[in-house]
Structure 1
Amino acid sequence: MRFKKYLLILLLLYYGNSFACKCREFEKEIMVERGLESADIVFYGELIKLDTISNTYAFKIIELFKGNYEPKTITSFSESNCDFYFNEKGLCIIYANFNKNKTLINISACSPSQSMDFGPGFPPIPFEFDSAGKTVPKNEIEMKLFDLENKNKSLSTFIYQLEKLRQYKLAQNTITTQMKNDFSDKALIISLIVNAILLLTIIFLIVSKKTSNNRITK
């Protein structure tokens, strides 16, 4: 019974979203780069509250990769079939965009956002069709295998994304440090030049004054 319910949820997710959304296929090698380009905020966090009636979710931010956001928790809202919907709490990777006031975020189903058990994009259909177009029923063992394979694939993608995002963050921090060092070097050089000009100006004024005094004395 549990697997029939699971199958129904997958069907609703797949067909409800497939007709409303046209997302580019998720390519593992570039999904993180595309997600970073299109998102205002990217983070690794934990879904701590969910309201399936109003489709609002609260996340605890564990690690921030992109975006300026000080609070440790953030709330998302869903308003269309193209938004990402959650049905249980847990760890997740989120690529989202802010609303106009930058108080809420919206998570698109076309983003690489995922939980540990549910990978990015729409899930594969766990059944086959016969020549008449009717579904070929699967037994409980086959459904368990499908569930296990899907979770393993999602976990693998989750680990991959987290590692890529941490590499990106490290690279950004390195660039920022280098920019700060470059700025400090330039500021030091400018300061030395200004001081040198000031010193030469003082020397010139002193020499000019002495020359002027000597002429007056003579």
Structure 2
Amino acid sequence: MKLKYIFLSALFFIYNYSFSCDCKPIDRKNIVETGLKYEIVFHGEVIKVDSINRIYTFRIIELFKGKYNSQFITQKYSGNCSDVPSLKQLWIVYANFNDDKTIEVSGCSPSTGFQPYGSDSMPSPPEIKISQKTDDQIKTLSFYVWDLKFENRNLQDWIYQIEKLRAYKKSQNEISVKEKTEAKLETYSRYIIISLIVNIVLFLSLIFIFIKKKNFGK
């Protein structure tokens, strides 16, 4: 039960944290659209946590947006509005680059861990007063149902984001292929036009030489 009260305290802390950052609430249907405004978007795993220096390392599993060649990327905590991925778990990250190629994960971004206790998607805890004389088994069951409800909702949100991000990546790849094809066709067309012009010039030059020789023979 103590663990549950810790989670409730965390909720209070994160509420104050979000308020101090002046974060605007994000509807579920707008999560991906809002997240894609950031410079880099990926699905990854936290593999290293340096809580002293507040540096966190992700292993990129799937890159949806942004240019980044390495499989590993580092986040530096830079202020009260930075997200803190202190648990080694899976994450969907929406972030901006710092000058040194590390990233800044804003607490106002829709970035989320696979088990983000205290997130906006978390359902309200059961209304059970601590002073209320309620059977411990009922309390335990209520919190258990609360956890299941949250985990189910979070799993739905997670799958929803991954599917939308993959659809976005596919559409961008198709646009890229189309642009490359159009660029090749444009280059090929220019090559043909230049070749035609060169051939016409050569043909006219041959005619000129032929006429000149003919007149010279007379």
User: For 1:195-214, what aligned pairs fall within 5 Å after superposition?
Assistant: 195-214=195-214
% identity of equivalent residues: 34
Q: Which residue of 1 aligns with 2:104?
A: 106
| Segment drifting more, 163-172 vs 84-93 | 84-93
Q: Which residue of 1 aligns with 2:152?
A: 152
SS of the residue 2:36 aligns to? helix
Q: Which residue of 1 aligns with 2:116?
A: 118
**Over residues 4-40 of structure 1, what are the superposed CA-to-partner deviations in whole Å (9 max), with x where a residue is unaligned?**
222222222222x133112222112222112111x11
* CA–CA separation in structure 1 for the residues paired with 2:124 and 2:76: 27
SS of the residue 1:25 aligns to? coil
* CA–CA separation in structure 2 for the residues paired with 1:212 and 1:120: 91
* CA–CA separation in structure 2 for the residues paired with 1:41 and 1:7: 32
The answer (yes or no) to whether the contact 1:44–1:61 under 8 Å persists in 2 is yes
Please state if 1:177 is matched with 2:170.
Answer: no
* CA–CA separation in structure 2 for the residues paired with 1:109 and 1:125: 20
Displacement, 1:80? 2.2
Displacement, 1:96? 0.6
Aligned length: 209
Q: Which residue of 2 aligns with 1:13?
A: 14
Q: Which residue of 2 aligns with 1:96?
A: 95
Q: Which residue of 2 aligns with 1:132?
A: none
**Over residues 136-182 of structure 1, what are the superposed CA-to-partner deviations in whole Å (9 max), with x where a residue is unaligned?**
33833322222222222111111100000000000001001011111
* CA–CA separation in structure 2 for the residues paired with 1:211 and 1:157: 81
User: For 1:131-150, what aligned pairs fall within 5 Å after superposition?
Assistant: 136-137=129-130, 139-150=139-150
Displacement, 1:125? 5.2
SS of the residue 1:29 aligns to? helix
Distance 1:119 1:205, change over 3 A: farther
User: For 1:35-54, what aligned pairs fall within 5 Å after superposition?
Assistant: 35-37=35-37, 39-54=38-53
Unaligned 5+ residue runs, structure 1?
129-134
RMSD of equivalent CA atoms:
2.0
| Residue identity opposite 1:82 in structure 2 | C
Displacement, 1:120? 8.9
Unaligned 5+ residue runs, structure 2?
133-138
The answer (yes or no) to whether the contact 1:119–1:158 under 8 Å persists in 2 is no
| Residue identity opposite 2:75 in structure 1 | S
| Residue identity opposite 1:197 in structure 2 | I
Q: TM-score, normalised by structure 2?
A: 0.88
Displacement, 1:51? 2.6
| Residue identity opposite 2:8 in structure 1 | L
* CA–CA separation in structure 1 for the residues paired with 2:150 and 2:144: 10
| Residue identity opposite 2:36 in structure 1 | L
**Over residues 95-145 of structure 1, what are the superposed CA-to-partner deviations in whole Å (9 max), with x where a residue is unaligned?**
01111122x1110111111111127954555365xxxxxx93383332222
* CA–CA separation in structure 2 for the residues paired with 1:69 and 1:143: 42
SS of the residue 2:171 aligns to? helix
* CA–CA separation in structure 2 for the residues paired with 1:41 and 1:31: 15
| Segment drifting more, 104-113 vs 48-57 | 48-57
Q: TM-score, normalised by structure 1?
A: 0.88
| Segment drifting more, 77-86 vs 193-202 | 77-86
Please state if 1:64 is matched with 2:63.
Answer: yes
